[in-house]
Amino acid sequence: MGDSIKKNKGLFRHLLPCIKGFWLPAILSPIAMLLEVSMEVMIPKFMSAIVDGGLYRYEDYSLSEYFSQELFSNPTKFVLTLGTIMVIIALLSLGFGCVGARASALAGTGFAMNLRRKLLAKIQDFSFANTDKFSTSSLVMRCTTDVNAVQMTFQMIIRMMVRAPVMLILAANMAFNINIRLALVFVVGVPFLIFSLLILLRKAKPRFKAMLKKYDSLNSAVRENLVASRVVKAYVREDYEKDKFDNAAKELKQSQLMAEKIFTIAGPIQMSIMWMCTIIVLLLGSKEIIFGNTGLHTGELISLVTYTGQVIGALTTISFMTVNFSRTHESLIRINQVMNEEIDVVGADTDYTVESGSIDFNNVSFSYSGSRDNLALENIDLHIKAGETVGVIGSTGDGKSTLVSLIPRFYDALSGTVCVDGRDVREYSLKHLRDGVSMVLQNGSLFSGTIESNLRWGNDHASREQIEQAAQAAQAHDFITSFPDGYNTELGQSGVNLSGGQKQRLCIARALIKEPKILILDDSTSAVDTATDRKIRGAMRSALPNTTKIIIAQRIASVIHADKIVVMDKGHISDVGTHQELMQRSEIYRDVYEAQINGQDSQQGGETDA
Ligand SMILES: Nc1ncnc2c1ncn2[C@@H]1O[C@H](COP(=O)(O)OP(=O)(O)OP(=O)(O)O)[C@@H](O)[C@H]1O
Ligand SMILES: [Mg+2]
């Protein structure tokens, strides 16, 4: 991926709108956690009150202002009253905690759903060039794993972002109120914690980045393997593919271990700091109770230890959150790269529609990399009148598919203009342009669902009659009706339960249903026998008489009757003319023709008189 991918532009700009519809739980969660933490810091206070109540006289009791002497002098009643209040506070704290957790889960899942929708909507707007830039597996990763990471962090933020600092402040405040000298222990402990944290953070970032990259490669290994499982088997490459996967998995494991190491170290460091602080508080505190004259009570020391735990606990949560942020930061960047990707093919906001279907290439050059150094098409001048049938012939890799992909703006020309109806294709809205241009791709895809639902992609509102007509023209009607369920036959993923030629014919029917002004067939009958190919061409002539047709083919027979035939040669147009003209003056064309006629390509040779 090039530098052109914008990295950090407005990292959170796309996130806030995703909370839409879930603001209530998103706000409720921190409020509930705030209430929970306020309850929680009160519990040690009651603990110390109960303990000290049994050990000291009313005059020496540090909380005497809160309790009447009468209650104090009845130990059973005193413990029961305070105990009951403590239980109620604990239950309340638990309740608020549950509400907070539930609300954050609600907000988090809703947020992730919105974010995924937004990502997918953006990816659907991607041009072919945009999709080429990111790999498909990386895009899948960004919509799944990366969104997950961001969701987890978002949930943590709304639960902990308020809770942890408030806990830190309240618990520290309580501790300082009990005994300033002892509470100063935190002042020593905290910098240690923060220091170790900063070091960890620095180490964590690159490791998480590396880990996500490895995830991409693993994903890509799985995807390719599954999508092409038949090819893998046909070439007996299972072992090779297994090794490839094993390697990707091993590398991921390695990078995961490297990244997780940070967390492994973080835990013990924090625990040791917490125990050190506890030991110091206990040591100094008990000395003070025995020898000192600061009036520290035993119960207070106990609650001080609990507050120490709460303070360090809050700090641990904050540090854990920070480490987690650094992990999520990488995911956030990856999501942002998608959201900030500039879509290079954007339709104009106009109402022009394709009316006649004439096509002009005016001195067009094109390169997939966007640089002039390796042009896939160079200085193409080609003019096709409305309603003409044009054949395109050329060797593999000569740029035939590239040429036609500029018409519906799958890619944009690097220089020169492509015009439809005499108007630059960039002046149409993408919808109107693509409604007017039907393209049967070289490796067209079908989708799971019934045959009819697949054909309806061409036109949602087509009547059953129109669908059958198109299927008839594409010579698909007969094989469709031979299936027990006819047009309602369920197709497997990508139409696996059809033969190659059947798939191609469905793709053609789907394109015909659109009744386009321009119809492009990119090697679309390569898997269809020559007799059927001939029938399809005949039917198309009568079904769409005024449609401009571009037929890319390997077989001369498929284009022999075209109004003109374009001969492509390594990104250039070598010649344009009718069959007879080209036979006279184009050496390339004659070579291809003779190769096919003279039985070197015997299968196709005999059919050229189609
Ligand atoms: N998505 C892509 N990214 C980069 N280069 C590409 C891409 N698609 C095609 N190319 C390159 O552009 C050149 C022309 O390819 P194109 O697909 O137009 O050939 P073609 O004439 O249709 O070949 P075939 O008869 O095999 O279908 C080839 O050299 C190919 O490597
Ligand atoms: Mg091609």
Tell me: do 70 and 117 sit in the same domain.
yes
Tell me: do 281 and 375 sit in the same domain.
no
Q: What is the C-alpha to C-alpha distance for residues 172 and 150, in angstroms, rounded to an integer?
A: 31
Has residue 539 been placed in a domain? yes
Q: Any residues with CB less than 8 A from the CB of 602 and at least 6 apart, and which?
A: none
Residues framing ligand 1 (Cβ under 6 A): 132, 368, 376, 394, 396-402, 442, 523
Tell me: do 401 and 488 sit in the same domain.
yes
Residue 496: count of CB within 10 angstroms of its CB: 11
3-class secondary-structure state, position 219: helix
Residue 610: count of CB within 10 angstroms of its CB: 17
Tell me: do 137 and 266 sit in the same domain.
yes
Q: Note down the domain range covering 328.
A: 16-340
The residue among 173, 178, 177 whose CA lies nearest residue 296 is 178
Has residue 24 been placed in a domain? yes
Has residue 348 been placed in a domain? no
Tokens of 293: 């004259």
Say which ligand is closest to the CA of 367: 1
Q: Mutation test of ligand 1: which of 127, 380, 401, 404 has the most ligand atoms closer than 8 Å to its C-beta? A: 401
- The DSSP secondary-structure symbol of 223 reads H
Tell me: do 364 and 282 sit in the same domain.
no
Tell me: do 233 and 379 sit in the same domain.
no
Cβ(566)–Cβ(393) below 8 Å:
yes
Tokens of 14: 């796309």
Tell me: do 269 and 379 sit in the same domain.
no
Atom of ligand 1 nearest to the CA of 554: 25
Tell me: do 381 and 498 sit in the same domain.
yes
Q: Mutation test of ligand 1: which of 378, 398, 407 has the most ligand atoms closer than 8 Å to its C-beta? A: 398
Q: How far apart are the CA of 444 and the centre of ligand 2, in A?
A: 12
Q: Mutation test of ligand 1: which of 373, 393, 402, 410 has the most ligand atoms closer than 8 Å to its C-beta? A: 402
Tell me: do 99 and 228 sit in the same domain.
yes
Q: For the chain, which residues score pLDDT lower than 70?
A: 1-9, 599-610
Q: What is the CATH number of the domain that holds 30?
A: 1.20.1560.10
Q: Mutation test of ligand 1: which of 400, 404, 521 has the most ligand atoms closer than 8 Å to its C-beta? A: 400
Has residue 5 been placed in a domain? no
Has residue 345 been placed in a domain? no
Atom of ligand 1 nearest to the CA of 568: 21
The residue among 441, 439, 440, 407 whose CA lies nearest residue 426 is 407
Instruction: Name the closest-CA residue to atom 27, ligand 1.
Output: 396
Cβ(259)–Cβ(204) below 8 Å:
yes
Instruction: Name the closest-CA residue to atom 7, ligand 1.
Output: 368
Tell me: do 521 and 381 sit in the same domain.
yes
Q: How far apart are the CA of 359 and the centre of ligand 1, in A?
A: 21
Has residue 478 been placed in a domain? yes
pLDDT score for 4:
41
How many domains are there within the chain? 2
Q: What is the C-alpha to C-alpha distance for residues 323 and 318, in angstroms, rounded to an integer?
A: 9
Sign of CA dihedral 457, 462, 467, 469: negative
Q: What is the pTM of this model?
A: 0.73
Say which ligand is closest to the CA of 567: 1
Q: How far apart are the CA of 526 and the centre of ligand 1, in A?
A: 17
Q: What is the CATH number of the domain that holds 568?
A: 3.40.50.300
Atom of ligand 1 nearest to the CA of 132: 1
Instruction: Name the closest-CA residue to atom 14, ligand 1.
Output: 399
pLDDT score for 603:
46
Has residue 9 been placed in a domain? no
Q: Which residue has the tokens 């059953």?
A: 464
Tell me: do 500 and 451 sit in the same domain.
yes
Out of 340, 374, 403, a domain closes at 340
Which pairing describes strands 449-450 and 437-440: parallel, antiparallel, or unpaired?
unpaired
Q: What is the C-alpha to C-alpha distance for residues 577 and 589, in angstroms, rounded to an integer?
A: 10
Has residue 82 been placed in a domain? yes
Out of 340, 370, 399, a domain closes at 340
Tell me: do 325 and 380 sit in the same domain.
no
Q: How far apart are the CA of 572 and the centre of ligand 1, in A?
A: 13
Atom of ligand 1 nearest to the CA of 398: 21
Q: How far apart are the CA of 522 and the centre of ligand 2, in A?
A: 7
pLDDT score for 567:
94
Instruction: Name the closest-CA residue to atom 28, ligand 1.
Output: 397
Out of 309, 340, 371, a domain closes at 340
**Residue 562 buriedness (CB in 10 A; 0-12 / 13-18 / 19+):** buried
pLDDT score for 609:
39
